Chains A and B, each alone.
Chain A
Amino acid sequence: MGKSTVVPFGPQHPVLPEPIHFDLELEDEKVVKAIPSIGYVHRGLEKLVEKRGFQEYVYVAERVCGICSFGHGWGYSKAIEGLMEIEIPKRAEYLRTIWHEISRLHSHLLWAGLGADALGFESLFMQCWRIRETILDIIEQTTGGRVIFSVCKVGGVRRDIPDQELKEIVKRLDALKKEIDGVADIFLNDETIHARLKGVGTVTYDEAVALGCVGPTARASGVPQDYRIGDEGGAYKELGFTPVLATEGDCFARVKVRLLELYQSLDIIKGCVENMPAGDIAVPVKGFPPAAEYFTRVEQPRGEAVYYVKGNKTKNLERFRLRTPTNANIPVLVKMLQGCDLADVPNIILTIDPCISCCER
């Protein structure tokens, strides 16, 4: 019988940038039970719809999370447009797709860097974030902000990207591909990384379906769960989309899925630029949302996010509900943490790519 300790993990912790608390019951460095305690980032912003107008609220919705910020703005705008039956111009749809895929690139590279840092591989962390700066430059050039874009609005987008600029962006992303190759090569082939990630935190296909996980966490176990497959009326349908899948279901498979998604995003951006339709970027929005409800989904970098809105014929919505991907991934996280080593805890937590501020809103 080993020595039993309770290690309080978080909320202040150098490995995880966000506050989440786990009480880890250890027996000789093996985790017997992990009891999560969340709520440190809960701001209660869903209730804020009652105080802010439905068009103004986009700016609050964006700030649910700084990393998946554009996706939240898009999801909310899409939900209101669906509720009020507004059809946005094609060009706006394509521009939104481009920004969302760029957002996915920056999110996955950020995650890769943090993962490497948790493994003790600081130089890889530095390289990933250095590459990410190129993407942030592109974002800043097109939207004006590095982290919070504020470019999505109900009815379309606020800014346009001229075609000439789009071609130049594609050239820069092509140059970036070589650098991503370098980083992906290390992640996929380094022996010490294999030793830390292979066989750790395995989730089988059936467990993934039963626990309801989403995003790369599910796709790494072979579950083809990606909203972009069945997307109606968006750019994804016109470009054609196949999800990236892996079968092993361990931490290494999740790393592989995210790295391959980087390449996929680069291809999608190129496809959007090549097929970019001309036209307006927004339509005017008149009136108030009807007394009805609507929900829509967006494939965030971390998985599928569900946006539900309910109007009541006034400037303020009755209800806004957001189910973020991390909410859906917490049960599978608790299952993975049982029986793992203490040294694996940050790796496992980071492989579901937790976004606690999304989760708690």
Chain B
Amino acid sequence: MSYIKKSPWLVHYDGSSCNGCDIEVLACLTPLYDVERFGIVNTGNPKHADIFLVTGGVNTQNLPVVKQIYEQIPEPKVVIAVGTCACSGGVFRDCYNMLGGMDKAIPVDVYVPGCAARPESIIDGVVKGLSVLEEKQKALAVPVREKQALRERELEPEVAINKSQEAGK
């Protein structure tokens, strides 16, 4: 049984954001929105986290930082890009120092638009991220041979069927 949906711990990083989305992320912890009732804890340590909540876009200085934090988070992990700047660069898209949204640095699973993204949207994004996280957890648990068989069935169905028929003979 996967407990990851019941106890997602998140780490939050601000990469070139104007702080609007960051204070809305912190507002999610406060009494009006209170995400701790879902078991969500804002841990500051990437090594303890499951969800990586990023705000703001990628610029030349924070590109290696974002990548390093992403690599420090143990599997399974989910990346949620909060705010228009994290999705695509936002108003700052044409600036000389900006490389674009967060998907230029790390693979993003959930995009939460808004400027600034409201706490309700952020919580909604996190909940969607939880189902992605659960899928990843299940995928990790599947042994390697089975994964290969699944992939073959997807790519070339006739070959896979012939193989299994031959194996059955």
Contact surface of A with B, Cβ cutoff 8 Å = 11-15, 17-19, 39-45, 47-48, 51, 59-60, 63-67, 69, 110, 113, 125-126, 129-130, 133, 145-148, 355, 357
Contact = CB atoms under 8 A, between A and B. Distances in A.
Interface string B97-117: 110000000000000000110
Given A41-B56, A45-B95, A66 B16 contact: no
A147 B117 CA distance: 9
A129 B56 CA distance: 23
B139 interface: no
B77 interface: no
A19 B62 contact: yes
A65 B69 CA distance: 24
A59 B92 CA distance: 11
B95 A357 contact: no
A65 B21 CA distance: 10
15 contacts: A40-B59, A40-B65, A41-B14, A42-B61, A43-B95, A51-B94, A60-B92, A66-B23, A69-B18, A126-B30, A129-B30, A129-B31, A147-B24, A148-B115, A357-B16
B19 A43 contact: no
A67 B23 CA distance: 8
Tell me if A's interface is mostly helix, strand, loop or mixed. Answer: loop
B42 interface: yes
Contacts of A129: 26-27, 30-31
Q: How large is the interface on B (under 10, 10 to 19, 20 to 34, 35 or more residues)?
A: 35 or more
Interface of B: 11, 13-24, 26-27, 30-32, 42-46, 56-57, 59, 61-62, 65, 69, 90-92, 94-98, 115-116, 118
A54 to B, nearest CB: 15
A12 B65 contact: yes
A69 B118 CA distance: 16
Given A39-B61, A42-B97, A43-B98, A130 B31 contact: yes
B44 A15 contact: yes
A48 B115 contact: no
Contacts of A148: 20, 115-116
10 A-B pairs closest in CB distance: A14-B44, A66-B20, A129-B30, A147-B116, A66-B19, A44-B97, A147-B20, A44-B95, A130-B31, A43-B92
B13 A66 contact: no
A69 B92 CA distance: 15
Contact of A59 (B24, B43, B91, B98): B91
B19 A18 contact: yes
A63 B115 contact: yes
A66 B97 contact: no
Nearest to A10: B65
